[in-house]
Amino acid sequence: MNTDGCDCVKDNMLESWVKNSRLFCHWQEIKHEILLHKWYESEKAGHDIGWERAAASWQVRYGHLPGGNSVH
């Protein structure tokens, strides 16, 4: 018995649920902010600073502190 179609439907439903979750949407917003930050900081530095450095820099400047308090 072939259940590939059923598995595909379940996978699509799960993917849709995940992409519509608040957590995923929040991550997409943060990722966009970090990419903008990476671009600005790379322009200032005159070279690509890389994702890791941009993410760390963004977290320090604009991220959240333990306990849910915002840095800004």
Give average pLDDT by consecutive 10-residue segment, the chain, 72 residues: 63 75 88 95 97 95 66 49
For residues 36 and 56, the answer to whether their CB atoms sit within 8 Å is no
pLDDT of residue 24: 84
Asked whether 65 and 71 are in contact (CB, 8 A), the reply is yes
Looking at residue 68, its pLDDT comes to 55
Predicted pLDDT at 40: 97
Question: What's the pTM?
Answer: 0.65
Asked if residues 51 and 38 have their Cβ atoms less than 8 Å apart, the reply is: yes
For the chain, give the longest Cα–Cα distance. Answer: 60
